[in-house]
Structure 1
C-alpha cells in the first residue's frame, strides 16, 4: 500500500509493496552502478525477497529505491539507495531516507550501517557517521563474485596458523 509523502500535491509516494516494484528498472540501475556492477538477475531477485524494500514513485512510475536488511530487533543495513537521474536534486533522497528511518519495524535498533563512497553529507543528516572503532569491524568482500570468478583471496585454500609456525590448509 503506497504511503503518501508530504510534498506538493502529494506528487510522490513511497511503498514497501514488493509487487509494485519495477524490478527491471532497479536491476538495470544496480547492474551499472559501482556497488553492484554486474549483479546477476537471480542474485538481485534473492536480495529483493530477503529485504525490506522501499520504492519511490511519481504516479505509477518508479523513480527511486532503497532496501534494508535487518533482524528488526537490533541491526539494520541500508543499501542500494538511488533516485533516477531525471528526478535528482529535488530532495527525494531525503524524503526516502526519512521514511525509511521512520518505518515502524525499524525503530529501537541499536545499530544501522551502510557502505558508500559518495554522498556522505546526505547520510550524515540522518545520523550516519564514519565507523568510530574500525578496528572492531571486519568484513569479507569479494568484488569478483558477480563475474562468476572468485578473487585470489577467496578462491585459494586459506591457511590457518598454529603455534610453532606450522600451518594447516583449510578448504575455502
Structure 2
C-alpha cells in the first residue's frame, strides 16, 4: 500500500473509531499486545484519540492523555504494519501536535524504537529524569 499518505486523513471523532481494528493494531505492538478490549475502551473514553483512515478504514491510531493544564502524554501511536513506510506516522504525529489544547504543555512519551520520529516534533531523550511504576495487573 505505497503512497497512501495522499489518500489518508486523520480524525479525532471517537464515533468513527473501529474498536476491533484498534485491537488488531494493538496486537501488532510490543507495548499493548495483551491489552484487553475492556482496558482499550476505557483508555479511549479517557483520552483524546486520533484515527487515521484510508477509504474510511482505520489504518492508524494514537492517543493523548492530558490534564489540559500542565502535561500531556502521547501513547499508542501505531500504523498498521501493512501501511508502514509511507509517512503515515509523520502525518499522524503532525495531526496530534497541531492540537491547540496541547500548546504550551509539557509533552512526554515512551518509545523503544521510534526516537527518530518523535525527535522531529521536538521530543528529546531524558534518560535520568523519569521514573516509572509498572502495572501489577492488566
Do these two structures clear the TM 0.5 threshold for a shared fold by scoring above it? Answer: yes
Q: TM-score, normalised by structure 2?
A: 0.90
Following superposition, which runs of at least 4 residues in structure 1 exceed 2 angstroms of deviation?
A: 7-10
Alpha-carbon separation, structure 2, partners of 1:9 and 1:40: 30
Q: Secondary structure at the match of 1:26?
A: helix
Q: TM-score, normalised by structure 1?
A: 0.73
Identify the residue that residue 119 of structure 2 maps to in structure 1: 124
Alpha-carbon separation, structure 2, partners of 1:49 and 1:15: 15
Tell me: CA distance 1:131–1:18, structure 2 relative to 1, closer, same or farther (3 Å): same
Q: CA RMSD in A?
A: 1.9
- Larger-Rg structure: 1
How many residue pairs were aligned?
136
Q: Deviations over 1:37-75 (max 9, x none)?
A: 211111111000000000001121111000000011210
Q: Within the alignment, does 1:30 sit opposite 2:22 as a pair? A: no
Task: Structure 2 unaligned segments of length 5 or more: list them.
Answer: none
Task: Structure 1 unaligned segments of length 5 or more: list them.
Answer: 1-6, 147-172
The higher relative CO (CA closer than 8 Å, separation ≥ 6) is in: 2
Identify the residue that residue 140 of structure 1 maps to in structure 2: 133
| Residues 14 and 96 in structure 1, CA contact (< 8 A), matched pair in contact too | yes
